[in-house]
Amino acid sequence: MTRLVVQHPQLTDLTVKVFEAAVGAPPQRRWSGGADWLEVDVDGEQVTTLAEIHRVDAEICPPADRLSDYGLLAFDMDLTLIDIECIDELAKMAGQGEAVARITEAAMRGEITSFADSLRARLALLAGTPAALLERVYHERLHLNPGAERLIELARAAGLRLLLVSGGFTFYTERLRERLGLDMAEANELVIENGRLTGEVHGPILDAEAKRAHLLAACSRLGIPPTAAIAIGDGANDLLMMGEAGVSVAYHAKPIVRSETTHAVSYCGLDAVLNFFVDTAPEPLTAG
């Protein structure tokens, strides 16, 4: 048996009926922003097609998977836990927005295949930038993605430890760690001299392989296997980390990332992840 979870911030009755007809059963539970069926032999390809047509999140989940069965929740930062790419916003404030964006676009086209090379090239353009702009980005541009605080609160209540691991900068991960009460945070530390960025970071750049290593190290410290970890990210740079986790969630990600993860959330907030687990899905508003 499997559990089909259909979600959208404005889920319509029409969409519910379409999925009801497709699986041949009415929803067992219905709540604001989601519908939940328990069904045998749900056709995953059909579910994916319907989700794309109706622009909703629809995921097939194990019928008895509990959040409390897991020990670690790991987040990427930029565009996953928060709604910006910090380096892009910093570049805009420094008057280098277009130049940095061109490098980002080249990396997305595959012309720059190394995340480390891409980050070095972007940071070089920011050499001499006043470090005070880091603070401005944090206070003026950075916001948590919807549902982040609720997901963190309930994950902590379920006994999970919380890891933030980013190819971004410790200036932001440390502030978020303190603000949200996260257990661990890993990122690149910018070199600052005389109040200005040098365009470099201390030590090796935290790339996809390093993200994977940090997740595995956190699991080792907690005494749990990687299969007891949940990892959430949005980019190709997160795939190695997410590939180690027992549950991986592509958050508002490109198709290539969605296709390689356990679940995807493309329309809802981060707290939609809670509905994948039977112990944190909300109580029904109506019974089927």
Q: What is the CATH number of the domain that holds 28?
A: 3.30.70
Is 253 part of a structural domain of the chain?
A: no
Q: Which of 36, 57, 76, 238 is catalytic?
A: 76
The sign of the torsion formed by the CA atoms of 66, 152, 57, 275 equals positive
Confidence category of residue 194, pLDDT binned at 50, 70, 90: very high
Q: Which of 36, 78, 88, 238 is catalytic?
A: 78
Decide if pLDDT at 66 tops 50: yes
- The mean pLDDT value of the chain amounts to 93
Per the annotation, the verdict on 83 as an active-site residue is no
Residue 181: Cβ within 10 Å count? 11
Is 5 part of a structural domain of the chain?
A: yes
Q: How many domains does the chain have?
A: 1
Is 162 part of a structural domain of the chain?
A: no
Burial 121-137 (b: 16+ CB within 10 A, else e): bbbebbeebeeebbeeb
For the segment 170-189, what is each residue's pLDDT rounded down to a tens digit? Answer: 999 999 999 999 999 999 99
Give the containing element (helix H, strand E) for 17. Answer: helix 13-23
Show the domain range for 45.
Answer: 1-64
Is 150 part of a structural domain of the chain?
A: no
**62-71, 106-115, 223-232: least confident range:** 106-115
Residue 93: Cβ within 10 Å count? 18
Is 147 part of a structural domain of the chain?
A: no
Is 19 part of a structural domain of the chain?
A: yes
Is 8 part of a structural domain of the chain?
A: yes
Per the annotation, the verdict on 78 as an active-site residue is yes
- Give residue 287's pLDDT: 44
For the segment 97-150, what is each residue's pLDDT rounded down to a tens digit? Answer: 999 989 988 876 668 889 999 999 999 999 999 999 999 999 999 999 999 999
Residues 6 or more apart from 39 whose CB is under 8 A from it?
1, 2, 3, 4, 23, 24, 25
Is 40 part of a structural domain of the chain?
A: yes
